[in-house]
Amino acid sequence: MSQAKQVPRLLVVMAHPDDAEILIGGSLFHLKALGWELGIVTMTAGDCGSATHSKEEISRIRHAEAKAAADYLGAWYGCVGLMDCEVFVNAENVRRIVEVMRTFDPDVVITHSPTDYMLDHEETSRLARAATFAVAMPLYQTRHSSPVKVGRATPELYYADPLEGIAPLGERVHPQFYVDISEQLEKKRQMLGCHESQRNWLRDHHGVDEYLDRMTTWAALYGGECGCEYAEGLRQHLGHGYPRQPLLQEALSPYIHIRE
């Protein structure tokens, strides 16, 4: 983190509106209370998330819902503009994410698990990983963003857990560490509740009318694994070339738990 910065900056890079809320909403409220600057960017506006609206209509609705949810958190929101089920790693999409990162200038990036139930999530994870590595490279050029800032370092990279903590073949993916979100659960529910159209879509498409309650059930499952009421899981990318300072763990230390 640059010494010129007053507070850490965190950018959440997710595939769709509501992903950040479901996976790490409680942790984001902890960080906001600690004074962090937060941003959320989604690859799509959720253009296929409806059985009744047109793609254009649901995109407008879901973009507005995502903005309202970010406003409730006190975070910036942006959308890359890709289409649902068409999120893929390619040169143009890496450039798009690097442009967002250079504009927001994060110290920490959180994205999807490298393995998850759908490819939009997995490809977003790969895009965020590539962009996090490229963002500080002075010779990596994009079309619209400002030049790399002098002294810019590679941001720390973290992964949220896959939905339900389950990989595509059903095996359990355990977090590196859990964050106790018990005192932030109601705010997380309120933030997720901003996505009313998605609740309706999931009820119609999946036969589930438990949008908020299902999220709460998953948080309780995680809490039971680490000895608290409700929790979320995170892992840090520790590969060569990425920073290994545990910035999130240090900031969230009063709420950190390890699996029992």
Q: Where residue 98 sits, what CATH number does that domain have?
A: 3.40.50.10320
Residue 1 lies in a domain: no
Which tokens sit at 117?
Answer: 């139930």
Tally Cβ neighbours within 10 Å of residue 130: 16
Q: Which of 225, 206, 250, 123 is nearest to 165 (CA)?
A: 225
Residue 120 lies in a domain: yes
Which tokens sit at 16?
Answer: 């769709």
- Helix (H, G, I), strand (E, B), or coil: what is residue 259? coil
| Residues 6+ away with beta carbon under 8 Å from 16 | 42, 43, 44, 46, 49, 84, 120
Residue 207 lies in a domain: yes
Alpha-carbon separation of residue 135 from 145, 153, 174 (angstroms): 11, 8, 29
H helix runs in the chain, sequence order: 19-33, 55-73, 91-104, 119-134, 185-192, 196-206, 211-226, 247-251
| pLDDT by 10s per residue, the chain, length 260 | 344 557 999 999 999 999 999 999 999 999 999 999 999 999 999 998 887 889 999 999 999 999 999 999 999 999 999 999 999 999 999 999 999 999 999 999 999 999 999 999 999 999 999 999 999 998 898 887 666 777 789 999 999 999 999 999 999 999 999 999 999 999 999 999 999 988 776 777 666 667 788 899 999 999 999 999 999 999 999 999 999 999 999 999 999 998 86
Residue 167 lies in a domain: yes
Residue 173 lies in a domain: yes
Query: How many domains, the chain?
Result: 1
Residue 75 lies in a domain: yes
- Would strands 256-257 and 177-180 be described as parallel, antiparallel, or unpaired? antiparallel
> Which residues on neighbouring strands pair with residue 28, listed in sequence order?
none
Domain span holding position 246: 9-257
Residue 18 lies in a domain: yes
Residue 127 lies in a domain: yes
